[in-house]
Chain A
Amino acid sequence: MISREEVLKLAELARIKVGEGEIARLQKDISDILEYVETVSTVKIPNSLTERDGVPPLRNVMREDTPRSTGDPLSGKEDALRAAFPKKENGYNVVRKIIQKDE
């Protein structure tokens, strides 16, 4: 079973605050699910397949980095996007200062 410390570490990595009361349940549930999904290690991968084959056949779809043009579903939606800001001032999204001055 994964430890209490591991659960807290995962919560920190995932940026999720977990309550003291749910840690034990998370330890059990996460361990049960990990034990189940570990069965993938028993998959017999055909010799013809390599790690590379796990990467889907991707291709880049590029576009010019230009403003949204008229007719684009996101053009002219600036006000609606601003309206969704949790805290706003003069049309700007107010966020917490992240760089602190050394004292």
Chain B
Amino acid sequence: MSNLNELSITDAAKKLQTGEITAVDLARACLEEIEKERPAGKCDRLNAFLEVFDDVIAQAEEADKRRTAGENHPLLGIPLAIKDNILIEGRRASAASKMLENYVATYDATVIKKLKEAGAVFLGRTNMDEFALGSSTENSAFGVTKNPHDESRVPGGSSGGSAAAVAAHMALGALGTDTGGSIREPASFCGVVGLKPTYGAVSRFGLIAMGSSLDQAGPLTRSVEDAELLFTVIRGRDTLDSTTVDETFYKKRSGGRRIGVPRRLLESGLETDVIQKFEKSLDVMRSKGYEIIDVELPLADLALAVYYIIMQAEVSSNLARFDGVRYGLSLKGESLIDDYAKTRGEGFGHEARRRIMLGTYVLSSGYYDAYFGKATVAREALRREVAGVLEQVEVIATPTTTSPATKLGEKTDNPLSMYLLDILTVTANLTGNPAISLPMGTVERDGTQLPVGLQFTAAHGDENALFAAGRAVE
């Protein structure tokens, strides 16, 4: 049978369970797709993978053995791609940075441990913006990933490699991380489903931290059902991440069918055909029995400014650990302080250096109150505003991005214009709410059809509302 790599996870699981196919068949199909038209020195034609593991077939054989021995988990033998900032014991995890180019993970991230227990097969590690700092994968120290729908365009970021690998059928699903939209924005640009779970739903133990009050890991898949399956496996309280909570932490919600649309927020900045696709999706929701209500989110306009203060502050703290003393790149200067400065000056790329410096600025004495202090209060006001809206409706709907994928290099000279790509996604990270992006069709640019995403945001712990709405419109 051909094109096994194009199966959804749930369909592949059924075929594996009936014995129609083996995990080795699936792994081979993915590896063939990865190697198709591969340029010299790269793992695949899109530069989606930084490394394809040399034991993929052996992992698949092991999964087949476990099935013969009686195991039957839906992820047993499913080939997945893993973002390069998630630790797998004994394998490299570079966060697409020169700083960690040769770093070998000493333990498994909790999400990896859970996937190993289920029997998933890891194909390799995927490209990303260095330390997840970016929205286009152009900040990778190892070259940009190309969008499978148009190779002159970005795949989005920072989980661009994961999104591209799933969209190009190189993997059945992938893990990414999302600090300000890093799962949902590439999902939108590549035409796949991307879920950022509720803050605290999924353990971050073993993830290379970016913004610790914002980061979440989540799945990128080709269907809502697949995203739900992966989420169910990786979620849960973990004593090694004290921010995690169990499923019973948030009270169960009614499961109603009301969708709030913040019309005023969508009045400016969005491209016309993106809005048209959005309206069409809302029509589909109406026909499925959903009620569409106008809601107000007056503070959401300022969310991006709040986000860029808090995120940069947290980045400057989290990236302080990379000093060349215990692991990673280590360069010698004239003194200890010079060792640090040299290591960090050469190990970090331009974007990382700038964000660390900006974070240092907003946290420094004399500026702290004006920036960080103000931003944290604004964040709480925003959290209350979103919570208030989610008392009237089950989900808030917006497009995921204001436009389809942009051209490679289009925004690299102007960081602010790059940051504006995140304007509709950062709110869910600031407030901790779960949000999903799913394809809502395509728009044409330069004669090419490019996917655009629909984003739903739900109350804390109410991923079920996202999956229900997602299935209705999918």
Q: Which residues from chain A sit less than 8 Å from chain B, CB to CB?
A: 7, 10-19, 22, 26, 29-30, 32-34, 36-43, 45-46, 49-51, 53-56, 61, 63, 73-74, 77, 80-81, 83-87, 93, 95-96, 98
Q: How far is the CA of A100 from the CA of B372 in the complex (A)?
A: 38
The prevalent SS among residues of B at the interface is helix
**How near does chain B come to A38, taking the closest CB pair, in angstroms?**
8
Q: Which residues from chain B sit less than 8 Å from chain A, CB to CB?
A: 103-104, 106-108, 110, 113, 205-206, 213, 239-240, 242, 299, 302, 305-306, 308-309, 316, 320, 323-328, 330, 335-342, 344-346, 348, 350, 353-354, 356-362, 364, 370-371, 373-381, 384, 415-416, 419
Q: Which residues of A contact B345 (CB under 8 A)?
A: 16-19
- The 5 A-B pairs at the shortest CB distance, nearest first, are namely A17-B345, A54-B376, A86-B330, A61-B242, A84-B327
Q: Point out which of A17, A87, A96 has the most chain B C-beta atoms below 10 A from its C-beta.
A: A17
Q: Which residues of A contact B375 (CB under 8 A)?
A: 37, 40, 54
**How near does chain A come to B331, taking the closest CB pair, in angstroms?**
9
Residue among A40, A54, A63 making CB contact with B380, cutoff 8 Å: A54
Q: Verify B107–A77 contact, CB threshold 8 A.
A: yes
Q: How far is the CA of A25 from the CA of B380 in the complex (A)?
A: 34
Q: Which residues of B contact A37 (CB under 8 A)?
A: 305, 308-309, 362, 371, 375
Jot down 19 A-B pairs with beta carbons below 8 A, ordered by A.
A14-B344, A14-B359, A18-B353, A22-B350, A29-B354, A33-B358, A33-B416, A36-B308, A40-B374, A41-B374, A46-B384, A53-B377, A54-B379, A56-B213, A63-B239, A73-B206, A73-B240, A83-B104, A98-B336
Q: Which residue of B lies closest to A62 (CB)?
A: B242
Q: Verify B370–A73 contact, CB threshold 8 A.
A: no
Q: Which residue of B lies closest to A81 (CB)?
A: B106
Beyond A16-B344, A32-B416, 15 extra complex contacts between A and B, CB < 8 Å = A12-B341, A15-B337, A15-B344, A16-B341, A16-B357, A29-B354, A30-B361, A37-B362, A39-B302, A46-B381, A46-B384, A49-B384, A63-B239, A73-B107, A96-B336
Q: Verify A30–B377 contact, CB threshold 8 A.
A: no
Q: Which residue of B lies closest to A11 (CB)?
A: B357
Q: How far is the CA of A13 from the CA of B371 in the complex (A)?
A: 18
Q: Which residue of A lies closest to B320 (CB)?
A: A15
**How near does chain A come to B86, taking the closest CB pair, in angstroms?**
14
Q: How far is the CA of A4 from the CA of B38 in the complex (A)?
A: 45
**How near does chain A come to B402, taking the closest CB pair, in angstroms?**
16
Q: Which residue of A lies closest to B243 (CB)?
A: A61
Q: Which residues of A contact B359 (CB under 8 A)?
A: 14
Q: Which residue of A lies closest to B335 (CB)?
A: A96
Residue among A19, A43, A95, A96 making CB contact with B374, cutoff 8 Å: A43
**How near does chain B come to A99, taking the closest CB pair, in angstroms?**
10
Q: Verify A53–B415 contact, CB threshold 8 A.
A: no
Q: How far is the CA of A85 from the CA of B324 in the complex (A)?
A: 9
Q: Which residues of A contact B306 (CB under 8 A)?
A: 40, 43
Q: Verify A17–B371 contact, CB threshold 8 A.
A: no
Residue among B353, B384, B416 making CB contact with A16, cutoff 8 Å: B353
Q: Verify A43–B361 contact, CB threshold 8 A.
A: no
Given A34-B361, A81-B106, A86-B330, the answer on whether A51 and B308 have CB atoms closer than 8 Å is no
Q: Verify A17–B344 contact, CB threshold 8 A.
A: yes
Q: How far is the CA of A7 from the CA of B324 in the complex (A)?
A: 23
Q: Which residue of B lies closest to A41 (CB)?
A: B374
**How near does chain A come to B389, taking the closest CB pair, in angstroms?**
15
Q: Which residues of B contact A46 (CB under 8 A)?
A: 381, 384
Residue among A30, A54, A74, A84 making CB contact with B357, cutoff 8 Å: A30
Q: How far is the CA of A12 from the CA of B335 in the complex (A)?
A: 14
Q: Verify A14–B360 contact, CB threshold 8 A.
A: yes
